[in-house]
Amino acid sequence: MIGAATARADNPSLLARLEPPPATQPARVVITTRLKLTPQGRLFEGLQSSPLIVFGQERASPAYHAVLEGAGARVELVPAAGGQGLDVGAVLVRLATLGISSVLAEGGGRLAASLIAAGAVDRIEWFRAPLVLGAEGRPAIGELALSALVDAPRWRRVAVRELGSDLWESYERV
């Protein structure tokens, strides 16, 4: 699962790149309030291998809806959240009715923050590279609207592994 900004910025395929390839590719999910995705992106190249499910706001443009469905995506509409974005709880409930019981959220920061705030994250797999982006980078987790440090979600590190020069840390929710 990714957010629309990640889809536009990175143009990912979201297909599992294993050798040998998996017998069945997982469903790919994009969250976008306004359904503004281009069907020329790599997400639409893998439709024969894996379904693409795009979640949008109930009041999203019927024209964008038609374009995405015409390109082969399944479009699902859910309510908006109180502030901005989609009600991720409604997204997860809808995914469950489609037979999807677990989700790997790959990005972006707003999506990660909304899933954490909804209490929907059981595990974080954190990959760090030995480089510093500073303010030019994008946050891995967006604003959580915490009023005090005591309100911050707590995690317990359960594993650390080196992958070349990168570090892979696994955390579970406390």
- The total number of structural domains in the chain stands at 1
Full-model pTM = 0.93
Radius of gyration of the CA atoms of the chain, in A: 17
DSSP assignment, residue 24? S
Instruction: Tell me the pLDDT tens digit for each residue of 122-162.
Output: 999 999 999 999 999 889 999 999 999 999 999 999 999 99
| Residue 95 belongs to domain spanning | 2-173
Residues in the chain: 174
Count the Cβ atoms, other than its own, within 10 Å of residue 35.
24
CATH of the domain at 77: 3.40.430.10
Instruction: Tell me the pLDDT tens digit for each residue of 74-122.
Output: 999 999 997 678 999 999 999 999 999 999 999 889 999 999 999 999 9
121: tokens are 């994250």
DSSP assignment, residue 22? P
